[in-house]
Structures are given as C-alpha cells and as structure tokens.
Amino acid sequence: MRTELEAMLQVRGITDLIICGMHTEFCVDTTARRALELGYPVVLVADAHTTEGNAYETPRQVIRHHNATLTNISSSDPGSALFPARTWKLNSNQSTLCSPPSGCDHTEVPRVFRSAQK
C-alpha cells in the first residue's frame, strides 16, 4: 500500500518514530516493519497498542508476541526499542525518554534517539 506518510515525515524533518495504536497484528505491525524497512528508527510503546485477539491467541498474547518480535528484527539497520508508556515525558519541543525513578538525565534513551536529542 502506498501512502503519503513517508513524504510527510520527510517534509517535517521527522527522523525517529514512536508507534502505538489499535490492531497490533495489522496496523501497528505493518507500520513498524515498513518504518524499519525505510530506515526509520522505531520505538514501540509496549503498553500503548491493542487488539481484540483472534481464534488462537488472547489479546495479551498477541501484544506480548509483537512486543518481542517487532523489537528483535535483526534485518533492520536503524533498530527498534520497546518502552512502556510511563517512561515517556512529552513536552511541546521534543519527546524525551525518562525513567521516573532516576529522573531525566537521558542515560536511558535508546540508541536510536540519542542523535536526535543533541
């Protein structure tokens, strides 16, 4: 499927993607895989995507499976990371990863986001 999303990201200078959403095994899976294929580093928010499950797996099993597989795709150069929603601190200027117990010193920022925050 061809969309204008890649062009929109380029025009806006977006270089890293944070992915969450509905239908883990369809929309979230396809978006993450395509983003990695196009060279975008990806963070999958572990507890911010959902599904109804299917005849073989419960919703929790589908999510667990995708959290494991989408963050371990060895053929992608930019890489991917998995973080729970509580580790995000968002402000109007940038998105930064902060671990609540340790403050926000950026030592826990995944490799794929370090260059964007300098």
Which residue among 20, 27, 98, 104 is the active-site one? Answer: 27
DSSP 44-91: EEEEEEE----SSS-HHHHHHHHHHHHT--TT-SS-EEEE-GGGEEE-
98 counts as catalytic: no
* Nearest residue to 66 (alpha-carbon basis) of 100, 19, 101, 14: 19
> Active-site residue numbers?
27
